[in-house]
Structure 1
């Protein structure tokens, strides 16, 4: 008879996985050292999550912000510029840094053909682009291709966030994020 899942333990494991990957990286992720760090066994991780990839995807899902809620009430360009700026600042400082570091690693890994992270990465990007496209349509109905504009913003800001996490250059990357946002959202 299969052992029932302890949902509280499962939630604790998911939180620990994100911290572990942020500290040790995704490239050489192995279940044994991960399990030891989490105070469990690789067998129990498989019991809870079936595969290493599913464990990572579920851990990331618990960390993903509610993007539609962040931009749902945006009705003018000033509010959208403010939200995008705040989103960048929050997600590259403090507690959010851990999940952003892991997400950037997963997005990179998703580029490989047949990556087990492709579906998760595609859904994360599609959610952000769709949400931002909707906000752009609300604030300016004259934008020729709001989806392309949203893609430019998301891709540009993701690169700036990655730059800041790698270099630690807060002042330069803040200026770059503000410039990108101000140039695109008028």
Structure 2
């Protein structure tokens, strides 16, 4: 029974760590203020996670979407556009927006040499680019460079999320996200029919 309680408490602590980062940021983060925020002790955090870095990476893993599920059933470019727009809405203002703030901070920190988040950021980026490129191949097996298209979409969306967060100009950035998705993806049969009709 104690083991189940430990896992529940660990999950609660990780959710609290995500909230802390979303509210207060990663800069200068140390165990004591996180422990105070979570109404626990630094010693207890070390008991559960070992190190501050391990705690942060574990918290990030709880925020990582299952990208294979996001793109699993897509065989049509219009459905892919729709799925990407749904992801944009969720990450920009839906229930995932707090996680987005955390992930964007981590990606910025990953650029610091010797930082603890590089491996996480590389793996998360590789996962979503691979899955999105796989959807593009499923839609059009003759696609010449689906990885580059996927990279433009992933990096473009991340940049726009930063813009939206920093400027608060939701209308402009939402229009830009829609344009990025619409214009970067290849034309589907319906698009081609409209263009020639």
Shared fold by TM > 0.5? yes
- Counterpart position of 1:96: 96
Q: Is 2:97 aligned against 1:82?
A: no
Q: Is 2:174 aligned against 1:171?
A: no
Q: What is the CA–CA distance in structure 1 between the aligned matches of 2:6 and 2:86, rounded to whole Å?
A: 37
Any gaps of 5 or more consecutive residues in structure 1?
none
Deviations 1:57-86 (A, max 9, x none): 111111222111011101011001111111
Deviations 1:34-55 (A, max 9, x none): 0011011011111111111111
Q: Is 2:157 aligned against 1:157?
A: yes
Q: What is the CA–CA distance in structure 1 between the aligned matches of 2:168 and 2:73, rounded to whole Å?
A: 32
Matches within 5 A, 1:19-38: 19-38=19-38
- Counterpart position of 2:13: 13
TM-superposed CA distance for 1:141, in Å, is 2.2
Alignment coverage as a number of residue pairs: 184
Deviations 1:93-152 (A, max 9, x none): 132111110000000000011111011111110110011010010112232111111111
Q: What is the CA–CA distance in structure 1 between the aligned matches of 2:103 and 2:52, rounded to whole Å?
A: 16
Q: What is the CA–CA distance in structure 2 between the aligned matches of 1:89 and 1:171, rounded to whole Å?
A: 12
- Counterpart position of 2:121: 121
What's the TM-score, normalizing by structure 2?
Answer: 0.90
- Counterpart position of 1:58: 58
Greater Rg by CA: 2
Q: What is the CA–CA distance in structure 2 between the aligned matches of 1:68 and 1:172, rounded to whole Å?
A: 30
Any gaps of 5 or more consecutive residues in structure 2?
188-197
